[in-house]
Amino acid sequence: MATTLAQVSDIHVCPEGTLYQGVADSNAMFAQAIQTLNHLQPAPDLVLITGDLTEDGTPAEYRMLRQLLAALELPYRVMPGNHDNRRHLREAFPEHTYLPAEGALHFAMDIGEVRLLALDSTVPELHHGELDRAALIWLDRELTACRGRRAVVAMHHPPFATGIPYLDIYGLRNAQAFEQVLSAHDHVDRVIAGHVHRLMHTQFGGVPVITCPSTVTQIALRTAGDAEPASFLEPPALLQHVWAGGRCAVSHLTYIGQYAGPFPFA
């Protein structure tokens, strides 16, 4: 039987009546993402939101987030991103006891045949990512404990340089230390991340890494050294990571919204 993890990211929920960056209705776009998730067949075993749940981490935004999530018919877990506030996130989800009561919001859980390790890469009140010594020790301990099973590491900040200069300013600062931990464990199936508002995939420490698009705007692919930051209202999307038959996952891009079809051919 297959195990499916649906990943959405960078939803940037705003106060009611407020547009994300004055441009996009991120709340309505996340509501549409929830409709897409509810209609996926077969239904995912879990939905994971890999950070930037809100735009400014305020209690009002988390209340709006909960109001929107009430329509989701699937089990879900939340992770912080650089736009989130750990304390306000905890307070908004008191029944989500997988979130630690203090400190970084790392957690681990089983999804079917797979062990999910959610790693909090955020630095409070800053936008770059970093993994302190306690985070790396936690990850190494959890990976050691699940040897013999496939593991997936989820984090907000991807651990590689994207080549987009205005993104890499806010990347993961100590990626080498993270790579050392990964390289000591041969059962990590992949690393999944968000933050960059684009689909990207590469290898890091011999492990596949894939980033999830945003449910709102997508950041422009501009690689010139003097490139100015830019985003587009491109089609939003989510990822489905599917493990079947003991094999490595296949990660599928699924566009959010309604499109013409299905047509009787393939």
Q: Residue 132 belongs to a domain with what CATH number?
A: 3.60.21.10
146: in domain: yes
> What is the pLDDT, as a whole number, of residue 69?
98
Segment 165-174 shows an average pLDDT of: 96
Cis before residue 262, ω within 30 degrees of 0?
A: yes
What domain range is 100 assigned to? 3-255
pLDDT tens sequence across 20-76: 999 999 999 999 999 999 999 999 999 999 999 999 999 999 999 999 999 999 999
Segment 186-198 shows an average pLDDT of: 97
53: in domain: yes
- Residue 211 pLDDT > 90: yes
pLDDT tens sequence across 119-147: 999 999 999 999 999 999 999 999 999 99
261: in domain: no
264: in domain: no
For the chain, what is the domain count? 1
The token pair at 41 is 């067949």
210: in domain: yes
CA separation for the pair 193, 159 (Å, rounded) = 9
